[in-house]
Structure 1
């Protein structure tokens, strides 16, 4: 059956559109995501930064109490890294360590799935704050920083009407020569050991679960050790050019708590 004249006039256009569609490269998914949703690393102004939760403003202007850094309290923290090209956020939620995949789209921080956390129990008030903080990660409707080139303040707006403000943490590696990172196990108790001219309490560490425990005479900067808990840490080895007298010239700086397990006594 002959085609109408109008169709014959449109045929070259339809052929061009069809060829263009066929010539487009197929989309490849990474981690189940449309690749158009994956940002370039250059657009992620948060990568390699870490933050303390400084203020939690509730709808109506009231402030919710949050822990602040001191000798007895540990703040809620968030850090952003890229692991093998995949953006991941991690930190301390008040009782437990957490991590979750994230992306930056048009400047908006998007947490792509529910966070995964360890399962330590603590005081009911702290547990309630942690529960609400972890829930907030997937409720971010707007996010901003004060300076995209060197951010020092970060703000999240939530669908609940809450506002969370964060302050940039100081790089704990400053002041020493940074070495490679490594994974280590830390036993659930510190034990007496000989250090220099006197006695000290040392960590028990090992590189793998099959090795015997060995003393670690140095410090682990940023590590909040709790007796009765066995840890697996990712640490950065730092060489101090001018260590204190009778102190090791090598110390570890905590990068992330990978695992933690309560050990029965």
Structure 2
């Protein structure tokens, strides 16, 4: 009798465990996300996809919109709010009155960013101090970023969204001339710059001293895939016409003491390489 009971225990135990494990596995399979867990995109057709690689935050950006809560201050009239992120983990810019600067880190999660509470110069500007004070307190609360074509979006956990437009093309380094050794043995910045740009057939809204229109440009690109960026600087001698796409060569000369928030280069048209009616 004892032997019979022992001989049936393994089979009975295996059957019992199977009745427990199979439903559990089925439930686990239902709960686990498939693939990477991404569902169908809710973005509307034509919306540029957001990107969040560390390089996507680099460049100079001008604040265009601040949204998300009810008591947001208005952007100071006639003052540009800029942020520049470099590839050494530092940022600098303007807060509406003062120059600001600090450190930032990207990651470890995709699209995650952390900004150190910025230090600032100590100028007093009665027309913009309330805005600047709130802005400087908001930047350290930013936790997410995304790049959408020529825009950078910063987000806080409480739903505030700061949208910036690209201003990087104002201060592009000259390829191959990041610095040259002068007679004193120190490194000096390039003094002039020649560039070839494609210019779009339509302008886009931008903000400088006041709301205005800016050219849309990109480095000469026959593939047509490079994104357009806003060009805030004036190009002397260039007579742009709507509905025409251009490829131009321009020459830049540095400006010793440019106005605040203006380009540090004076650009002059060298040649219109081609002009084509927009398709």
Please indicate the TM-score interval, normalised by the length of the shorter structure.
0.3 to 0.5
TM-score computed with the length of structure 2 as normaliser? 0.43
TM-score computed with the length of structure 1 as normaliser? 0.45
Work out which structure has the larger RCO, using CA pairs closer than 8 Å and 6 or more positions apart in sequence: 2
